[in-house]
């Protein structure tokens, strides 16, 4: 019986990890092809980066719909509908003749794909307590970190042997597997616990969330950490592949190292969160984020020609992303146990909106140097810790083990 229970937990985590991986796979697998896409569609770097920003915009906005719907209809139906939308949009991307059409389909690809990650968070909170949720989220992030670890390498290999379109065909295959896995997933929200949702209730719920200073503090701590990482994601293909002339395969190697440190952050959090509590772990993540954010700013402003140290500081910045993300998410969802779907949706929307803005700024400031990417990462690290002290601590956040 115990063995069966352990097997069920493993299948549960693997399924949720697959659903959470929609974003990193959809973003990271095609990163090596960005310079190629710029040439194929004959557009500049800022225009091709709109394929990233539109994805994040779709990802952010759709979560505001998926969350309340999952509170009303249950978690599984909304995920399944989202996957169908994702597959349809991905087919549209493959056959897009103009970059404008591709950008639009990227929006709808994200619109469908966002159902998995936002509802996966809600499912975890449906099932576990606050600290246990943080632990499971850390394991979840640890497992799903393998997606961005492998994605650029896989994308680079596909680009070398085939074409950029085959990257999206592989995403369709992955989404079919997710669809099948979701069908076999047990519904975590029983009918007796489902909310009666209408437009006025949705507006009221989101208003309550957005006016709660502690909730917003958690949301922005997580979002600034994510935005720093996304600045690297959106800027690194052009710096490493286009400017420094490394191959897409070598780019995958650079990415491997950074995601390895994301995994280290998840492992550290899973190990210590039960001992010292999620709020203390959040503080640790925010401090790490700020320290390396400041070092990156010093590097680009005072020693702009020493590029290898910037890459080292960015790598050491990465553990803060997973530590901050897991604990801020668990703590924020714990504030609204009756509206977990809406709370998870609001978190995701804020996270991906801030991330999209950071990617846009990197593209607009692109000067064929590390300046724009390093500047945005550094500022995000400082804002992360500032949010913790000036929003969370100022509003009487107390440490709870």
CB atoms within 10 A of CB 128: 15
Min mean pLDDT across 83-92, 140-149, 266-275, 305-314 is at 140-149
Domain CATH code at residue 303: 1.20.1250.20
Q: What is the mean pLDDT of the chain?
A: 84
Residue 148 pLDDT? 65
The Cα 385–Cα 346 span in angstroms is: 21
Domain membership flag for residue 399: no
Q: How many domains does the chain have?
A: 1
Q: Give percent of the chain above pLDDT 90.
A: 30
pLDDT digits (tens, 9 = 90+) for 69-116: 887 788 889 999 999 999 999 999 999 999 999 999 999 999 999 898
Position 379 confidence tier, pLDDT thresholds 50, 70, 90: very high
pLDDT score of 2: 41
Does residue 330 form part of some domain?
yes
Does residue 1 belong to any structural domain of this protein?
A: no
Instruction: Read off the pLDDT of each residue in 192-220 and give the average, rounded to a whole number.
Output: 85
pLDDT recorded at residue 401? 41
Q: Do residues 53 and 143 lie in contact, with contact meaning Cβ atoms separated by under 8 Å?
A: no
Residue 401 lies in a domain: no
- Neighbour-count burial for 305-336, b at 16+ CB within 10 Å, e otherwise: eebeebbebbbbbbbbbbbbbbbbbbbbbbbb
Q: Is the pLDDT of residue 149 over 70?
A: no
Whether the per-residue pLDDT at 365 is higher than 80: the answer is no
What is the dihedral sign for C-alpha 238, 240, 242, 247? Answer: negative
Q: Do residues 32 and 254 make contact, with C-beta atoms less than 8 angstroms apart?
A: no
C-alpha 366/C-alpha 238 separation (Å) is: 9
* Mean pLDDT, range 383-391, rounded to an integer: 93
Q: Is residue 354 in a domain?
A: yes
Give the whole-angstrom CA distance, residue 99 versus residue 360: 17
Domain for residue 400, yes or no?
no
In a domain, residue 3? The reply is: no
Quickly count: other Cβ atoms within 10 Å of residue 94's Cβ: 16
What range defines the domain where residue 61 resides?
8-393
Which is nearest to 151 in space by CA: 298, 22, 317, 16? Answer: 22
Q: Looking at residue 146, what is its pLDDT?
A: 65
Whole-angstrom Cα distance, residue 312 to residue 40? 33
Q: Is the pLDDT of residue 50 over 70?
A: yes
Examine residue 94 and state whether it is found in any structural domain, yes or no.
Answer: yes
Convert the pLDDT of each residue in 229-265 to its tens digit: 888 877 777 777 766 777 766 777 777 788 889 888 9
pLDDT of residue 337: 79
What does the pLDDT read at residue 397? 58
Q: Which residues contact 117 (CB under 8 A, 6 or more apart)?
A: 19, 20, 22, 23, 63, 348
Residue with tokens 């190292």: 257
Is 170 a residue whose pLDDT tops 80? yes
Task: Evaluate if residue 399 carries a pLDDT over 50.
Answer: no
What is the pLDDT at residue 368? 59
Q: Which residue has the higher pLDDT, 4 or 97?
A: 97
Is the model's pLDDT at 357 over the cut of 80?
Answer: yes
Question: What percent of the chain has a predicted confidence (pLDDT) above 70?
Answer: 90
How far is C-alpha 71 from the chain's CA centre? Answer: 22
pLDDT digits (tens, 9 = 90+) for 277-335: 888 999 999 999 999 999 999 998 888 777 778 889 999 999 999 899 889 988 898 88
Residue 99, both tokens = 């970059």
């Amino acid at each position: 019986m115990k063995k069966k229970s352990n097997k069920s937990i493993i299948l549960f985590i693997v399924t949720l990890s697959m659903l959470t991986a929609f974003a990193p796979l959809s973003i990271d697998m095609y990163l090596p092809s960005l310079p190629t896409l710029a040439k194929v569609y004959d557009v500049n770097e800022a225009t091709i980066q709109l394929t990233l920003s539109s994805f994040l915009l779709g990802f952010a906005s759709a979560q505001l719909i998926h969350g309340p719907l999952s509170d009303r209809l249950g978690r599984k139906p909304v995920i399944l509908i989202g996957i169908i939308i994702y597959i349809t949009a991905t087919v549209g991307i493959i056959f897009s003749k103009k970059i404008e059409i591709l950008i639009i389909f990227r929006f709808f690809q994200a619109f469908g794909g966002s159902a998995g990650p936002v509802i996966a968070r809600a499912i975890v909170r449906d099932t576990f307590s606050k600290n246990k949720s943080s632990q499971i989220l850390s394991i979840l992030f640890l497992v799903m970190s393998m997606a961005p670890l492998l994605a650029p390498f896989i994308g680079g290999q596909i680009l070398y042997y085939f074409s950029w379109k085959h990257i999206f065909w592989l995403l369709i295959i992955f989404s079919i597997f997710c669809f099948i896995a979701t069908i076999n997933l047990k519904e975590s929200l029983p009918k007796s616990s489902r909310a009666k949702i209408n437009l006025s209730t949705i507006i009221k719920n989101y208003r309550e969330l957005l006016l709660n200073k502690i909730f917003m503090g958690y949301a922005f701590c997580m979002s600034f950490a994510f935005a720093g990482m996304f600045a690297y994601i959106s800027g690194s293909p052009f710096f490493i592949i286009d400017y420094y002339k490394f191959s897409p395969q070598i780019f995958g190697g650079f990415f491997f190292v950074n995601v390895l440190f994301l995994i280290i952050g998840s492992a550290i959090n899973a190990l210590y969160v039960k001992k010292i509590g999620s709020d203390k772990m959040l503080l640790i993540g925010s401090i790490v984020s700020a320290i390396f954010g400041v070092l990156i700013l010093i590097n680009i402003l005072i020693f702009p020609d020493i590029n290898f140290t910037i890459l080292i500081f960015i790598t050491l910045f990465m553990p803060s992303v997973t530590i901050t993300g897991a604990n801020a998410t668990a703590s924020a969802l714990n504030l609204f146990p009756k509206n977990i779907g809406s709370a998870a949706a609001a978190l995701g929307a804020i996270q991906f909106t801030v991330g999209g803005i950071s990617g846009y700024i990197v593209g607009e400031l692109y000067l064929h140097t590390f300046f724009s990417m390093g500047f945005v990462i550094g500022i995000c690290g400082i804002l992360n810790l500032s949010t913790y002290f000036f929003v969370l601590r100022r509003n009487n956040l107390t440490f709870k083990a």
